Structure 1
Amino acid sequence: MAFVAPKQVKAAEQQPTYTIGTDVTFAPFEFANAKNKYVGIDIDLMKAIAKKENFKVVIKPVGFNAAVQAVEADQMDAVIAGMSITPERKKVLAMSDPYYKSGVVMAVKKDSNIKSLKDLKGKRIAVKTGTSSADYANSIKKKYGFSVVTFDDSNNVYQDVTTGNSVACFEDQPVMQYGIATGLKLKIVTKPALSGYYGIAVAKKSKAALLPKINAGIKALKADGTYDKIVAKYLGNGTIASQKKKNAATQDSDHSFIGLLKSNWGTLMGGLGETLILTIVAIITATIIGILIGLLGVVPNKFAQGTATTFIYIFRGLPLLVLALFIYTGIPSLTGTKIPAFVAGIITLTLNEGAYTAAFVKGGIGAVNVGQMEAARSLGLPWGKAMRRVILPQGIKIMIPSFINQFIITLKDTSILSVIGLLELTQTGKIIIARNMEGFKIWTMVALIYLIIITVLTWLSNWVQKKINA
């Protein structure tokens, strides 16, 4: 057994651990390779900084918007995601020293006749929300007379152009070069504009402890040549041919439907597993909350009924996306208390689906003939016992099909939680597409998985209804 000096053990134990958010679709800075492991300039750089400055990192690929919002809400310690340093961002986040210089370029379809910004008049262009390229596009749209549509991830930006919905897109130069080198059917038609630098954004709570380490690490890695090696690993000498050679190993080798299914089966099943866990936990908690609120709504007490009605009105009326973001980033910003993404997802589904469950529980009980309660009370049964023994057995018979249908709805609603970074089935599809750019094939796989599960649940619902009505 190797001897470890006490000082070394103590140093290892004292290493602080920081949670770092990053994007899911921003190659070559962060992306999943052919083995579905996260790699890229940003990933390697962050790990190298941590090693150099003696701290540990947990890198979470949650998407650009989710990462930035999590850092603003002190849910994470920092975000590294090809994030341009801007005066606006420096007002709300602590930005590190710059580590990469980039510029914004415009790309169009390979066979497009769009050659310059002047050709965009009356046309639509696509950008990724929250990025410098989006800011640049919005700053010149009046001058050149085009409209802008925004998407949450890069792949959807590119797909909007390749399908012809938009005539062009704006993107950071190295990202667009990498995409073209790895099969994206676009071409760059402008020189880089709005040149700026990428930095690492640090949360306010971690500024004092983490920011000096990051800056020292960037400086040290540039001085000893490690930084140049990391960049060259993904970009080569900067030419398209060099990028193709350097990054061939990161791509799926077989782009047929079966080939993509085989190479990504494990990842898709991992996403499905997360979806099913979210669904099962949420449906249990939502059912409990829904039944309690539903029963509260039929109690002969105006305050209780008002409480139930208010709960149903609020959480059935709020869009699920808004509710998820409010719980994951809004509440922590107010209270300063972290809410893990999984917990935030469960709370979101519980409140939303619980409100719908409460509504049909209340409706199911209300559907029982009012004479049933009157008859039970006339026989001397108190309200509670009459409800438990007479009304609920009949109401449950009416409610059961709705419970199963709500399970199906909850399963589908989990896809919205990708906005807070949960790696469920939909988010998994985005990650895979970011690597291979095979949007149609991957989304077909995701759709088929959803349809198979929903079909099984629909059969179960029909079978239960037949048994009840038999």
Structure 2
Amino acid sequence: MNLDFSQIVPYIPFMLEGIWVTLKFVSVCIIAGFILGTLLALCKITNNPFFKWFANAYTSIFRGTPLILQLMIIYFAVPQLTGYDISPFLSAVLAFGLNSAAYVSEIIRAGILAVDKGQTEAAQALGVPYKLMMRNIILPQALKNILPALMNEFITLTKESAIVSVIGYLDLMRRAQIVGADTFHNFEPLLFAGVIYWVMVYVLTSAGKVVERRMRLSD
């Protein structure tokens, strides 16, 4: 076996920088996806037919097409159609944020519908406005029920973030590819990157369990 991990030792600081680059991009995508996904979920349960149609059409499009296709379209089509030279970071945030929102919207919608209808009826009987009812009564209860599913979506997003390497964004995966090209040893840097991804996912999973446990104890 022609393995030599000493070849990548000088490149370890370069690859480790990819952790913060990846986490920065993923964090922005998670926030954007959660906010947009919540709005889409509210549109899906509204009585307004246009909002409901728009949210369902949005979800169908982004769940029915490959994420890498969405990323490539944004990165290459935006400059062609608008003349704006979009950066790899912005392209990645838009593609992953919009895609994640479609999945998050379904998770939150299911969580809202799982809340006892008596909560809604009681709030309406007390004259609580719809916005306050959703913000202070329904959504907090729904979040407790869907936290495991949300954490799973965020973990999936972290792993799939490696796709942004195809547009030259210097995330962890792209840096591993660069090291492999420089050293002519691809297995070692890819294995090193794989270990780092596993550690990040493990930390996220552990954090999710802690948050879930605390939310249950607060009931």
- TM-score (ref. length: structure 2): 0.90
How far apart in 2 are the matches of 1:268 and 1:297? 42
How far apart in 1 are the matches of 2:181 and 2:78? 31
How far apart in 2 are the matches of 1:390 and 1:271? 40
Code of the aligned partner of 1:301: N
Code of the aligned partner of 1:273: W
How far apart in 2 are the matches of 1:376 and 1:328? 46
Alignment of 1:127-276 (within 5 A): 256-257=4-5, 259-276=6-23
**Match of residue 138 from structure 2:** 391
Alignment of 1:399-414 (within 5 A): 399-414=146-161
- 1:453 and 2:217 are equivalent in the alignment: no
How far apart in 2 are the matches of 1:279 and 1:361? 20
SS in 2 for 1:438: coil
- 1:191-220, CA deviations, whole angstroms, 9 ceiling, x for partnerless residues? xxxxxxxxxxxxxxxxxxxxxxxxxxxxxx
- 1:370 and 2:117 are equivalent in the alignment: yes
| Structure label with greater radius of gyration | 1
Name which of structure 1's ranges 455-464 and 376-385 shifts more when overlaid on structure 2: 376-385
**Match of residue 336 from structure 1:** 83
Code of the aligned partner of 2:209: N
How far apart in 2 are the matches of 1:358 and 1:294? 5
How far apart in 2 are the matches of 1:354 and 1:271? 25
Code of the aligned partner of 1:269: L
Code of the aligned partner of 1:464: V
**Match of residue 287 from structure 1:** 34
- 1:419 and 2:172 are equivalent in the alignment: no
How far apart in 1 are the matches of 2:196 and 2:135? 40
How far apart in 2 are the matches of 1:458 and 1:387? 28
Residue 296 of structure 1 contacts residue 304 of structure 1 at CA under 8 Å; is this kept in 2? Answer: yes
Residue 401 of structure 1 contacts residue 464 of structure 1 at CA under 8 Å; is this kept in 2? Answer: no
Long gaps (5+) in structure 1: 1-184, 186-254
**What is the CA-CA distance between 1:373 and the residue it aligns to?**
1.3
**What is the CA-CA distance between 1:463 and the residue it aligns to?**
1.7
Code of the aligned partner of 1:275: T
Code of the aligned partner of 2:25: L
**What is the CA-CA distance between 1:413 and the residue it aligns to?**
1.6
- Structure in which a larger fraction of residues adopt helix: 2
Counterpart pick for 1:311 among 58, 76, 83? 58
Long gaps (5+) in structure 2: none
**What is the CA-CA distance between 1:415 and the residue it aligns to?**
0.6
**Match of residue 356 from structure 1:** 103
Which structure's relative contact order is higher, taking Cα pairs within 8 Å and 6+ residues apart? 2
**What is the CA-CA distance between 1:321 and the residue it aligns to?**
0.6
How far apart in 1 are the matches of 2:140 and 2:191? 43
How far apart in 1 are the matches of 2:210 and 2:8? 32
**Match of residue 326 from structure 1:** 73
Residue 144 of structure 2 contacts residue 212 of structure 2 at CA under 8 Å; is this kept in 1? Answer: no
SS in 1 for 2:72: helix
**What is the CA-CA distance between 1:334 and the residue it aligns to?**
2.0
Code of the aligned partner of 1:256: D
**What is the CA-CA distance between 1:386 and the residue it aligns to?**
2.7
Aligned-pair RMSD on alpha carbons?
2.0
**What is the CA-CA distance between 1:261 and the residue it aligns to?**
4.3
Alignment of 1:456-467 (within 5 A): 456-467=203-214
How far apart in 2 are the matches of 1:381 and 1:326? 44
How far apart in 2 are the matches of 1:293 and 1:308? 5
How far apart in 1 are the matches of 2:134 and 2:17? 44
Code of the aligned partner of 2:4: S
Residue 34 of structure 2 contacts residue 101 of structure 2 at CA under 8 Å; is this kept in 1? Answer: yes
**Match of residue 82 from structure 1:** none
Residue 405 of structure 1 contacts residue 461 of structure 1 at CA under 8 Å; is this kept in 2? Answer: no
How far apart in 2 are the matches of 1:392 and 1:276? 27
**What is the CA-CA distance between 1:469 and the residue it aligns to?**
2.6
**What is the CA-CA distance between 1:309 and the residue it aligns to?**
1.2
How far apart in 1 are the matches of 2:189 and 2:36? 36
Residue 180 of structure 2 contacts residue 186 of structure 2 at CA under 8 Å; is this kept in 1? Answer: yes
- 1:441 and 2:188 are equivalent in the alignment: yes
Code of the aligned partner of 2:144: K
Code of the aligned partner of 1:446: A
Code of the aligned partner of 1:328: Y
Q: Percent identity?
A: 33
How far apart in 2 are the matches of 1:309 and 1:466? 33
